[in-house]
Amino acid sequence: MDITVSVEKASNITRKLTVKVPAKTVSKHYEKGLAEVQRTAKIKGFRPGHVPMSVVKQYYGEDVRHRVFHNLIDESYREALRSEKIMAVGSPQIDTPDHKTGDGEHDHSLHEGKDLTFTATVEVMPDIDVKGYTGVALSQGNAEITDKDVETAIKGILDSQSQLDPITDEKHTAQKGEYADMTFDGGVVTDTGVEPKEGMKGNRVIEIGSDALIPGFEENMIGMKKGETKTFRVPFPKDFYEADLAGKDAEFTVTINELKTKTLPPLDDALAKTMGYDSVADLKKKANDHLTTERANEVDRKLRSDLLQQLIEKNTFDVPSSLVQAQTRALAQEVGNNLKNQGFTDQMIQEALVAELENLNKRAENQVRASLILEAIAKKETITVGPADIDTEMTTLSTNMKVDEARVREFYLKNPQRRDDLEFRMREDKTVKFLLEKAKIKKEK
Residue 41 located in a structural domain: yes
138-154: b (≥16 Cβ within 10 Å) or e: bebeebebeeebbeebb
Instruction: Return all residues near 159 (Cβ < 8 A) that are at least 6 apart.
Output: 262, 264
Residue ending a domain, among 216, 240, 263, is: 263
- Percent share of the chain, pLDDT over 90: 80
* Number of separate domains in the chain: 3
Phi, psi of 337 (to 5 degrees): -65, -40
Question: Mean pLDDT for each consecutive 10-residue tract of the chain (445 residues)?
Answer: 93 95 93 90 84 89 91 95 94 76 46 88 94 96 93 92 92 95 94 87 93 92 96 93 87 96 93 94 95 96 97 96 95 93 88 91 96 96 95 94 93 93 96 97 89
pLDDT of residue 100: 39
Residue 81 located in a structural domain: yes
| AA letter at 135 | G
Residue 403 located in a structural domain: yes
Residue 290 located in a structural domain: no
pLDDT of residue 110: 73
pLDDT of residue 98: 56
Selection from 129, 39, 42 nearest residue 316 by Cα: 129
For 370, other C-beta atoms within 10 Å of its C-beta total 19
Q: Kindly state whether residues 22 and 113 are assigned to the same domain.
A: yes
Q: Kindly state whether residues 178 and 117 are assigned to the same domain.
A: no
Return the CATH number at 218: 3.10.50.40
| AA letter at 400 | N
Q: Kindly state whether residues 84 and 167 are assigned to the same domain.
A: no
pLDDT of residue 43: 87
Q: Kindly state whether residues 25 and 98 are assigned to the same domain.
A: yes
pLDDT of residue 205: 94
Residue 256 located in a structural domain: yes
pLDDT of residue 102: 39
For 118, other C-beta atoms within 10 Å of its C-beta total 21
| AA letter at 224 | M
Residue ending a domain, among 245, 263, 281, is: 263
- Alpha-carbon distance of 403 to 154, in angstroms, equals 30
Residue 77 located in a structural domain: yes
pLDDT of residue 109: 62
Q: Kindly state whether residues 198 and 247 are assigned to the same domain.
A: yes
Residue 63 located in a structural domain: yes
pLDDT of residue 108: 52
Q: By residue range, what is the domain housing residue 74? A: 4-124
> What ranges make up the beta strands (E) of 86-228?
88-95, 116-124, 137-140, 163-166, 179-190, 193-207
Return the CATH number at 47: 3.30.70.1050
Dihedral (Cα; 354, 360, 365, 371), 10-degree rounding: -140
Q: Kindly state whether residues 172 and 239 are assigned to the same domain.
A: yes
Q: Kindly state whether residues 114 and 170 are assigned to the same domain.
A: no
Residue 314 located in a structural domain: no
pTM of the model: 0.73
Q: Kindly state whether residues 75 and 178 are assigned to the same domain.
A: no
Residue ending a domain, among 238, 263, 288, is: 263
- Alpha-carbon distance of 187 to 205, in angstroms, equals 20
Strand partners, 21: 116
264 DSSP 8-state letter: P
